[in-house]
Structures are given as structure tokens and as C-alpha cells.
Structure 1
Amino acid sequence: MSGSLLAASGLLANTPLGALLDGLFPASFRGVAFHMPDVRHEVGRRVVRFFFPGLDATVHEDLGALDGGIAVTGLLLGDDYVRRAEALAEAFRTPGPGTLVHPWLGELQVVLARPAQILFSERELRLARFDALFEPWIERVPARLDTLGGLLAAVDGLRAEARALLRAALAPALLPLAALAAVQDFATATGALWARLAAAGRGSGALRAALAAPLGGLGAIGALALDDGYPDAVAARLFAAPAALSAAAAPPPAPAIGPAAEALAAPPAPRARVAAADAARVLLEAAAALAPAAADQEPAASLALALAAASRTEAAACVADLAFESRQEALAWRARLDAALAATATEAARQAATGRVAAPGALWRAATALRTALAADLNERIGRLPGVATLRLPAGAAAMPAWLAAHHLAGDDPGRVVAVLEDLVRRNRLRLPGAVAGGTRLEYLAPAGRPA
């Protein structure tokens, strides 16, 4: 029977559709109900056929499984068929995935693959038809943070936990005078430690300039008022030195281009520039020197642990900006930082086991997360770095100029000879590059992708 005859006979008004039309199952899209007498679902493999000029043979390339389109021929039956057709049209216009209730396959998240067609006919009263092609919606997995982004996020996490630990150690509203004196003594000793480390080794001038302001603030901690802001004020003074070193070692911001450059009222004030390797060295040495100070007396133990954690955190941030020259250099920094962060986690676990007020369990988790992120970032970078290899000059041969070894190592790329020669002289500290004794072992930087 056609819809018009059914309507004329009055059967649709009082007879359930499921009993009237055999095989007509209810379905819906975005909550709009309809009936689905016909549906087709494409499944199989995504096979692409390739043709080649001058050849009769073809090649089939399998591009994976296909869970393709669901072609639906639906019916809207009833007195409200026009209103439901308008609701279905609005559902088709709605962006994003929607829920399709499939009589056989259940609930599916789908999108409309192409414009649907809604059909009315004067020969079919109280009935509308539609044709639609749906495709299964597969939620895109958010792109994983790149290794550098994960490292910087872990650095922020450990920074926050170190500051939280220090605030917890100084949280009591009325600290005894002995505790206040211990805080000032710790700050004074820490300032002397930073000054001593900055004066030793390379880049001492830039290190001292970067630490001048933070060290001046350490001496005035005892003058801070004991109020609700005391823990945050002490944390800011103690963490100023490692933060200043990390900021001084960070690459300068790129200059503005175009109208933005003209909008600058005045150029930024020059700041002390510190080599990232020098800053990381001082930060790690300071953290190692603070570790023995983590005695079982509060608040000195928590202060030392928090400051050591902050220093190692800033060292990790500095190493993230290092431009490693060789695979061996990156491996050495990875081992050094991993050992330092492991020491922070170990001390945090030891202090957490004592059950003191400032239990640093969260600090242990943040240090462990930073170790993981640091390993992921450095491992990804290590794979692209060249290695340091060794070349032994012929034993018993007369002294020869280093440029002969440079020609040998440059191979069929004459443009690299000068760079290789300069690397040989600098890396091996050759005092007489024109006469290198036979049997000498020369270290050189192997090109990336070539085994060292």
C-alpha cells in the first residue's frame, strides 16, 4: 500500500507502525526519530590501484582498513511529519559529530558526509523521505606535546612544588624566634655560596652581574615582617638567584618587525648574558652543596631541599636551551642532570618518611616527572647529533700538519676542510698544528648520521 492509501483507509491513525510495516525499525539522528527501511554500510580495505605508462600490469596499494559511509534511506511518518522534517533538517545543519541510533549497529558517532536530501510528495500524505550519507566519527587524539614542551611543563611543575614546600615550612603563623634566626642564617650562608660559585670558573663576570641583585635581597630577609605574606616573601628572595641565572642564560627575544618595532617607546634595558652551560654548572654545584645542609632540623631541612630542587629545575631549563655540539656532550649533561634530580627525589622521599610538617611527597612526584621529561627531550635530540670519533695518525711516521688529517676527514667535500681543521685544533688543543707527531690520537666531530 502507498502512504496515501494507508492514510485514506485510516489505518495509520490507530495501528502501530511496527505491526503494520514488517521490518521497519525505529532510528534517530540527534534525537530526531525516523524509520530506516534501507541502509547500506561500506566496509573493507582502502585499496588504491596504480597504472603506469607503457605497462599493462597494475599495482594495488593497501592503505588500511575502511569503515566507510553509512547510506540511509529514512522515512518520517505521522501527522507531525513536516515538523519532524524541519527538525531533521536543523540536525543536518548542526556542525560537528552527532549520535546516530542504528537499528542494527547501535549508537554511533557520525558526521554528515554530504548534503542530505529530504523529499516530499503529494502522492504520499503524512510521509516524508530523506537520503543521507553518514561517516563514522573517530575522535582525534590530541597531539602529544613535543618533547621540549613536555620538558618545560615539567620544569614549571617542579618550580611550583619547590615553592609550595618552602611556603609549607614557613606557614605557621607564629614561628619561634629560633626558626626566624635559622631562616636568616640559611639565607646568609646561601648568599655566600652563590657568590663563591659565581667567582669560580668561566663566565665569572657575567655570573656575578646576574646575581648582584638577588644576593643583595638575601641579606635583608631578617627584616621582613612576620605576617601572612612572610612565606611568599622569603620564597621570592631565596629563589631569586636561580631564577636570575636561568633568565640570564635564556636566549634573547626576537626583535619586533614592522609596526610593532615602531611601537616600542624605548629599547629594553640591557641584561647580563650568561652562557647556558655556565649557568647550569653553577646551579647544579649550588644544589649539591645545599644537600648536606638538609639536616633533620626544621625549617633548615625543608629550605635546603626546596632551594636545591629549584636550582636543579632552573639547570634543566638552561640545558633545554643548550646547543649541543656532539652526542657525547648531550649524554654527559643528561647523566649529570638525571643524577641531580634523582638526588632531589631521594631526599624528598627521606624527608617525607619522617612525617614532619612540610612533607614533600608532591615534590618527589614532580622531580620524577621532570626526570622522565628531560630524558625524553634529550634522547630525541641525541639521535640527531654527531658523535665524537677518534683518528690515530700512523705510528712511527714523521710529524705531519693537521690539515692533512682535515683533508682526510673532509673526504669529497673540500668546503669542510677549514672547519674540520679548526675543530681538530680546538678539540685536541694542538699547540703546533703544523707538526703533529705520528701515533697521536685526534678527536674529531663525525658528521651526523655517520657512526662515531
Structure 2
Amino acid sequence: MSGTLSTLGLGSFANVLSGAAGGNLVSGELSRLLGTAALGGVTFDIIDSREAAGRRVSRFLFPNRPVEDQKFQDFGTIDQPIRITGYLAGDDYVLRADRMRKVLLKAGRQTLVHPWWGRLKVRVLEPGEIQFSATRLRIAQFQVTLVRDPEPSATGGLLQRITDTLTNLLEQADAIVDDVTLTVQAVLAPLAIPLALSGVVGSFLSQASGVWDALTASAPQPLQTGVLQARAVLAAGVSVPSSNGDTAYADAVTAALAAVPAAAVTAITDPSLSVVAPAQQITGDAAEIVDATTVMALLLSAAVQIGAVADTLSNTSTVPAEALTLGVAARALIVSQMLGAWGGLEFVSGADAVAARDQLIAAIDALKTDLENAASAGSSVSLSGLWGSVQSARMALVADCSSQVGRLPRVVAVPVAATVSGWALAYAVAGDDVSQVQGIFDDLISRNAIGHPALVGPGDIQVLEQST
């Protein structure tokens, strides 16, 4: 299981209004009214929000007395429920709807980031409704009733019960995208973008485009084709608006940064489905495929190089904190897509899974270091939400890897005193189960980088243990 997570997240609703909304909504003036909101860490587009506020007043009327003799008793202020209609839009709208459903089921206080009221502590007052429609593809609509609750609450446990480790990992990765979107919106919030800030954004997008061009130049042909349009979007950059009254500019920057890593993950080929390949993807007698391992290596290199670009920009710019924050955003988007590709990796042994996990953990830890550096540089936006989602994704990755390791065979070291045939060693390891000989042989040749299968050893040879 692999796939692209939300690449547009916020602001994507406006992009699908005309093509997927059926006859209910149209693009144009209405799309500009959409606001950005988040509930429990799940971002969505908000089109309607209603709330009443006032005082708790009881009115007393007396029989056979004129209305002027009425009395009132004031019990103080009261906040009435906030009723919100929101939309979850994008290629991952079903995954986002599932995350929102879990938010609605969660007990206790939650954080609502409201486009007009700001950040509020709320509780879900009534069961919410999530609606799917065949006339609105890639859009889920929901209604929820909330009430303000500013009182402090007790801290819950650090770990929650995880029933599906891979789904939980994908949800945590999607949460990273949401927090990145909010972070970039906060950085690019000024009504008039300063020249220094616009210069940093333009330079960063340009240099990031150069990094991707270099990395994909030697990639398999299907991968080059898959990321071609996304590279063009990034290379084109984002024009700075004369008036920055909404989040369109920030969302365009986020979309440009996310486009290439998301397209790379989308290009992963499922060999079982690739019976017929385009002509340009044929090499000799076989169709070229793009496996998750290739894409993962590409994304790992990109994360390191784009992080270095942000560091260099911060040393020369008059707004170093903003440069580092943009670097954090770009690197976090790449990490989120790596987590999305994790489900497409196939492991022969538990040791292989642990090795791949450690590579991803190193990338996540490097991202956390970047977050700390951006905060230390005096970033004007809060990075605590993004740091929390990155840490949660790290925990989810460890949990999913642990569940896989328990189902995979172990790699054992077999001492070989003299040079022997690889086939003889494979038969010896397989024992009575000859059906495993071919798999053991193939693995020991590749795992130990054996030049000739008849010349194995002497020394310790790594082989797969029998699955039985």
C-alpha cells in the first residue's frame, strides 16, 4: 500500500469546485470566500460558520401586573455552539475524512484553528455528519457543532491504541502536510510581502527546482515522465501578489514544493498491473518499472540537498529565520511522501525492514534538528504543531516496522570454513523444505554480493532463516 498524501491540502477545494462539485457549487467569486480551518489537527476548507453569543437572562412576568413591572435575572455570559460546514478536498479526501471522523469521536477538548476567530479550545457538542456524493468527486462535506471550552484539561497518555499501524502512519504523514500548510501560510501572511521575503521564496523555489532536475536526470524513464509536469510547476515559481489578502500565495508555494515528491511517489509502478507499458518505458524485452526503493532513495537525497539549500540561503538573507522555516516546510513535505511510499516497500527479512526504517528515522531526526534551528533563529511562527506531528509520525513508523519485523524471516550468519557452492549452502539451510531453496539461494547471492555462485566463502555468510 502506497500513495501520494495530500499535496494541496488547504486551498485544494477551490481547484476542484468547477470539475467535481456537480451543480451545487461553482468556481469564481465563491471560491475566493473559502477560509482555512483545522480541527484536532485536520485541516479543511470552511465555507460557513455560525455562532451566537450573549448573556443568560431570565425574564419574570407577574399576573395582573403591567409589563413595566417585569424583572430580569442575569446569570452572566454564555457562548452558544459554533456550527461549521466544512469541506475536505483533494486526492486523499477519503483518508482525510477518516481522520476527521476520529476527531469527532475523540473525547475532551480539542484545538480549532478558525479563519476568523483564531485558535480556540473547543469540544464536540453534537455528533457531526460527514457526507460523500457521487456528484462531488474528491470532496467530502461535513457539519459539526462545537462549543468553546477555555478551561484547562488533564493531560492524556502519550501513546494511543493503534489497531492498523500502516493506516495510522499514513494519517500521521498527512497531518505533517496539514501543519506545513499552516506554517507556510503563517510565514507568508503579511498583506504586503516584503521584498526580502519574496526574494527568499523565489530563490528557494529556483534552487529546489535545480536539485530535483539533477536528481531526476538519471532516474528511470517512467519516473522522469511522472515528475515532468510537477518539475515544470516548481521551475515556473510563484508570482508575488500586489495584495496578499488571502492564503492563495502561501498555498501556491506549498503546492509547488510538494508537487515533485508527490509525483515521484505516484510514479511507483505495481509490476502486477504493468502488463502493457508505454513505448518509451520499454528497455529491450522488459518494461521499465519504478519501485518504491528507487523513489525512497531519490527522496532521501532530495531532503538532504534541499535542507542544505535553506541553510545556505539563511546565511546570506536578511530574513534567515524565514529561509530556514521554508526549508523545514519543504523537507517536511518530502518526509511525508517518504512515509507514504513506505507501504510500497517489500522486505525479504526483518533486518531489511529495520535498515529501511533507520534511513527514514535519520531523515525524520534531521528534520527535527532543522525545526529546532529555525526556532532558535527567531522564527516568527510557532513550529510546535509541526514538531508534534513529525514526532507522532516517527512513533507510527517504528510501530508499523515492528509489526512487520515480527512477520518476516530473520537473517542469520552461517560460518563457512571453506569455499562451497551457493546451491549446496542453500540446500543445507533449507533442510527438508526444498521449496525454499531457490529463495534462499537468490537472497544469499545478492545479500552477500557473491561474484560467482560456485565460490561462496570462507567466512560468515548472511542467509535467510527458514520461515518455518
2:291 aligned with 1:236: no
- Distance change (3 Å), C-alpha of 1:225 and 1:348: same
**Hey, what's the Cα distance between the residues in 1 that align with 2:392 and 2:466?**
33
- Distance change (3 Å), C-alpha of 1:250 and 1:145: farther
- Distance change (3 Å), C-alpha of 1:273 and 1:300: farther
- Distance change (3 Å), C-alpha of 1:241 and 1:447: same
Matches within 5 A, 1:311-350: 311-350=334-373
8 Å contact 2:238–2:253 — kept in the other structure? no
2:445 aligned with 1:425: yes
Q: Which amino acid aligns with 1:213?
A: Q
| Residues 322-331 or 214-223, more deviating | 214-223
2:268 aligned with 1:245: no
Identify which of 227, 240, 245 aligns with 1:211.
227
Aligned to 1:34: none
Q: Which amino acid aligns with 2:213?
A: A
Aligned to 2:215: 197
Deviations 1:121-153 (A, max 9, x none): xxxxxxxxxxxxxxxxxxxxx984311121111
8 Å contact 2:307–2:331 — kept in the other structure? yes
Q: Tell me, what secondary structure is at the counterpart of 1:444?
A: strand
Q: Which amino acid aligns with 2:214?
A: R
Q: Which amino acid aligns with 1:301?
A: L
Larger radius of gyration: 1
Kindly state the Cα deviation for residue 276 of structure 1 after the two structures are TM-superposed.
Answer: 0.9
| Residues 216-225 or 299-308, more deviating | 216-225
TM-score normalized by structure 1? Answer: 0.58
Matches within 5 A, 1:49-128: none
2:296 aligned with 1:283: no
Q: Tell me, what secondary structure is at the counterpart of 2:370?
A: helix
- Distance change (3 Å), C-alpha of 1:380 and 1:346: same
Q: Tell me, what secondary structure is at the counterpart of 2:267?
A: helix
Aligned to 2:114: none
Q: Which amino acid aligns with 2:458?
A: G
Q: Tell me, what secondary structure is at the counterpart of 1:172?
A: coil
* Structure 1 unpaired stretches of 5+: 1-141, 256-267
Kindly state the Cα deviation for residue 336 of structure 1 after the two structures are TM-superposed.
Answer: 1.7
8 Å contact 2:324–2:370 — kept in the other structure? no
Among all aligned residue pairs of Structure 1 and Structure 2, give the percentage whose two residues are the same amino acid. 30
Aligned to 1:137: none
Matches within 5 A, 1:148-227: 148-200=166-218, 203-223=219-239, 225-226=241-242, 227=244
| Residues 230-239 or 423-432, more deviating | 423-432
Q: Which amino acid aligns with 1:159?
A: V
2:419 aligned with 1:402: no
Identify which of 413, 436, 445 aligns with 2:464.
445
Kindly state the Cα deviation for residue 225 of structure 1 after the two structures are TM-superposed.
Answer: 4.0
Kindly state the Cα deviation for residue 355 of structure 1 after the two structures are TM-superposed.
Answer: 4.3
8 Å contact 1:345–1:363 — kept in the other structure? no
8 Å contact 1:349–1:361 — kept in the other structure? no
**Hey, what's the Cα distance between the residues in 2 that align with 1:423 and 1:353?**
47
| Residues 275-284 or 174-183, more deviating | 174-183
Which has the higher relative contact order, 1 or 2, with Cα contacts under 8 A spaced 6 or more apart? 2
Deviations 1:286-345 (A, max 9, x none): 112222324361532221110001101111111122111111111112222122212222
- Distance change (3 Å), C-alpha of 1:250 and 1:307: farther
**Hey, what's the Cα distance between the residues in 1 that align with 2:453 and 2:352?**
24
- Distance change (3 Å), C-alpha of 1:408 and 1:159: same
Q: Tell me, what secondary structure is at the counterpart of 1:433?
A: coil
Aligned to 1:93: none
| Residues 184-193 or 312-321, more deviating | 312-321
Total equivalences in the alignment: 291
Q: Which amino acid aligns with 2:372?
A: A
Q: Which amino acid aligns with 2:297?
A: R
**Hey, what's the Cα distance between the residues in 2 that align with 1:236 and 1:169?**
15
TM-score normalized by structure 2? Answer: 0.56
Kindly state the Cα deviation for residue 281 of structure 1 after the two structures are TM-superposed.
Answer: 1.5
8 Å contact 1:287–1:312 — kept in the other structure? yes
8 Å contact 1:250–1:318 — kept in the other structure? no
8 Å contact 2:198–2:240 — kept in the other structure? no
**Hey, what's the Cα distance between the residues in 2 that align with 1:251 and 1:321?**
9
8 Å contact 1:206–1:273 — kept in the other structure? yes
Q: Which amino acid aligns with 2:358?
A: A
Deviations 1:395-427 (A, max 9, x none): 3xxx54322112111101122223322333333
Q: Tell me, what secondary structure is at the counterpart of 1:239?
A: helix
Deviations 1:70-103 (A, max 9, x none): xxxxxxxxxxxxxxxxxxxxxxxxxxxxxxxxxx
8 Å contact 1:348–1:364 — kept in the other structure? yes
- Distance change (3 Å), C-alpha of 1:328 and 1:158: same
Kindly state the Cα deviation for residue 252 of structure 1 after the two structures are TM-superposed.
Answer: 8.7
Identify which of 344, 366, 372 aligns with 2:389.
366
**Hey, what's the Cα distance between the residues in 1 that align with 2:217 and 2:452?**
32
**Hey, what's the Cα distance between the residues in 1 that align with 2:209 and 2:269?**
22
